[in-house]
A and B are shown apart, each in its own frame.
Chain A
């Protein structure tokens, strides 16, 4: 009889040692490839000016300094539009867009997942199909729509379309379908609660991972939004756009631009670290049954 391999005193089936080693090596290489650019960005942002221009460039920093970060804020302080304005714009767009998307999507997802009504299946079919093409396709007509309703160069042009982004709704609906049992909703309905009340006090508390996921997705997308064709005024532009301008300053701004990138990326990464387990839980029901 073949000897059983164990890992931590548990029998593992069908796992050859050679395969384990091979996979570990592959994973290590891929991991280094993924991680190095992020690492450079952080290192670059901590280098004092003279180290940025060492030849050959170094993979480590000898005298880490926060100068690039203070430079960044001074640099932005001198600009025509104050840096705080870019931050304000980005936060306003991210929060406004995410809030609307959360409210509209979760109400809609509840009705699609838990109420059977004529047309519901067709609505969801369309939503699924909308995941199959990128937003670029509608960009042209949306621009015309925006100019017709006079939203060009306003926050609304960015915030309102974000309310109907479909990925969050899709995940929320799938999650409700597999995690909210119909029995519990029925009992609430029998007690005389309105459909809206059932949604709010029974279904919503049960799908916390899904709304966290939706918040993160929507927030990330809006936080990272760069220059938009809808916005002309400098004072309405976003953080990402402002950082692009610094980076365009070339080599003399290398430190400040790395610092800016670090500031930008820290926010979504921190948010993901905190919510990772919820997101993975939501993804458990993300599958598409065709």
Chain B
């Protein structure tokens, strides 16, 4: 960069800040051409939708007539008049509060457990734990395992052992829907963050552990707390973000296994509620309000947790 600056008639010191920025922009024309295609699409399909959702959420709009400004009325209706929204909000928060941390902790623990296995075995174990998250709709097998009739594995065994007289309607009984869906969600949740943890653990400088042993670290738990976790903070951060975002987007598993809406609206989440208003009723303003609230919740949770992780070990 300094080489090019020398060629200029003016040097950095003689230019104002704006002139200098303009100079850098012209010098790096190519960089703008390179980022443009991706960034334009990214704005159209990701950033602008969030902004527009916020704007639309202050309107009443049905796609046919022009939108009408109603200010906060959508939000007021949501919180005061829409019982189903409150159910969905509660369920979403419960799902997120359980599956987010649980999947994060399981991902980390498994990655940590298998870290010292020989490479061949480690890659097989990695495959076993990672496979459910990439294998498409393989989670439908849980529907077969917990099927309502005696041909379901679980009902079959319970009947055979004489523990129950009639099959349990697992996915159609308000008592079981939430716990089962959480288990299935956890089963499919060892994804990218899990791989990131494995790589992070592998990347820790081994001499740190030796130094730690000399400095009086007595067991693997102390080693985990004082060396391992602080050394892989960037991965912990990345993993947390993926775990949180994933835990709020929950909903597809409930629809697939328990139906939409599920029995008594148990397990009915914000994404179902949003689908109802944007897909079936076309109340765009109202749906936009739900979208924007989902956005706020996810960003809020993520910012909070990443702040916490960045404090780790300080």
Contacts and interface: CB of A to CB of B under 8 A. Distances in A.
| Interface of B: prevailing SS | helix
Interface string A142-177: 111100000000000000110110110100000000
Contacts of B98: none
A120 to B, nearest CB: 7
Given A14-B223, A108-B38, A141 B49 contact: yes
Given A130-B47, A264-B136, A283-B198, A140 B241 contact: no
Interface string A115-127: 1111110010011
Contact of B241 (A105, A132, A272): A132
A273 B113 contact: no
A160 B42 CA distance: 10
A286 to B, nearest CB: 5
B49 A104 contact: no
A244 interface: yes
Interface string B262-289: 0000000001001000110000100110
A61 interface: no
Contacts of B187: 33-34, 37
Nearest to A170: B238
Interface string A38-63: 10110010000000110111000000
B291 interface: yes
A138 B137 contact: no
Interface in A159-216: 160-161, 163-164, 166-167, 169, 194-196, 199
Interface residues of A, number: 101
A283 to B, nearest CB: 4
A93 interface: no
A81 interface: no
A134 to B, nearest CB: 4
Given A104-B37, A130-B46, A284-B203, A265 B32 contact: no
Interface of B: 1, 21, 24-25, 28, 30-32, 34-35, 37-39, 41-42, 44-50, 52-53, 56, 63, 106, 109-110, 113-114, 123, 125-132, 134-142, 144-145, 147, 149-153, 156-157, 159-160, 187, 190, 192, 195-196, 198-200, 202-203, 209-210, 212-213, 217-220, 222-223, 232-235, 237-238, 241-242, 244-246, 248-249, 271, 274, 278-279, 284, 287-288, 291-292, 294-295, 298-299, 302-303, 306, 310
Interface of A: 13-16, 19, 23, 26-27, 30-31, 33-35, 37-38, 40-41, 44, 52-53, 55-57, 104-105, 107-108, 110-112, 115-120, 123, 126-127, 129-145, 160-161, 163-164, 166-167, 169, 194-196, 199, 217, 220, 223-224, 226, 229, 240, 243-244, 247, 251, 254, 257-258, 261, 264-265, 268-269, 272-273, 276-277, 279-284, 286-290
